[in-house]
Amino acid sequence: MLDVVVNTIRLSDDNIYAQLKRIVQMAEEGQGKGNVDQVGILTGAKRNVWADARRLLAQGIAYNELTV
């Protein structure tokens, strides 16, 4: 999880970008190592938005249905 507000102070755009870049890098490094739930960025959306996105993601390839 990435908190963009720490102690009532919003992180700078550069800091947020650096943190997101780090998350992506960690997800890429974990690929193929059994880590199936690496990045959950869509889970912050409203339920109906997430449900629609999940349905579309699951339709992508068979493996997706097992992981979303």
What is the 3-state composition of the chain as percent helix, strand, coil, each rounded to the nearest 5? 60, 5, 30
Query: Domain total for the chain?
Result: 2
**The pLDDT of residue 61 is above 80:** no
**The pLDDT of residue 14 is above 90:** yes
Where in the sequence is the domain holding 41, given as residue range(s)?
Answer: 36-68
Q: 10 and 20: one domain?
A: yes
Q: 46 and 60: one domain?
A: yes
Q: 23 and 40: one domain?
A: no
- Specify the pTM: 0.46
- Nearest partner of 28 among 19, 16, 17, 39, judged by Cα: 39
